[in-house]
Amino acid sequence: AAGTGEFEAGISKNGQTREHALLAFTLGVKQLIVGVNKMDSTEPAYSEPRFEEIKKEVSSYIKKIGYNPAAVAFVPISGWHGDNMLEPSSKMPWFKGWNVERKEGKAEGKCLIEALDAILPPARPTDKALRLPLQDVYKIGGIGTVPVG
């Protein structure tokens, strides 16, 4: 969130923004979109310097954990007002759009829905055996071992 103090709390040492980025990478999420929300709450509203400051700090952190910032779309948005969600916002004329460069090719756009549409679906190993995440394994007398997932 771009609001005063909100981003700082999220990016601080044990902040939720850091935690979520690290979790995503650890769990194997390969593609990332960073939506900088609450741009309407910046001082002044829809501030380009605030967006660039957040983009710079988040880029630095995600690079440290293993993401390539050039392959990440950064989109300034206001979910409350719908700015840059489905169509480019007139309130952020300074935002010329996002672009990503990855080995599969380049992509670009101006709003969040376009960034979501640019996500490449992961390859599905349909020739391999089915895998399911397990929640628990029960050993039931007379029945045997029952995996639950």
Question: What's residue 26's pLDDT?
Answer: 95
Calculate the average pLDDT of the chain.
93
Domains along the chain with CATH numbers: 6-124 (3.40.50.300)
- In tens, the pLDDT along 74-130 reads 999 999 999 999 999 999 999 999 999 999 999 999 999 999 999 999 888 899 998
- Is 50 within 8 Å of 2 (Cβ atoms)? yes
State yes or no: pLDDT of 4 exceeds 80: no
Beta strand spans in 6-135 (E): 33-36, 73-76, 98-102, 105-109
Question: What's residue 11's pLDDT?
Answer: 87
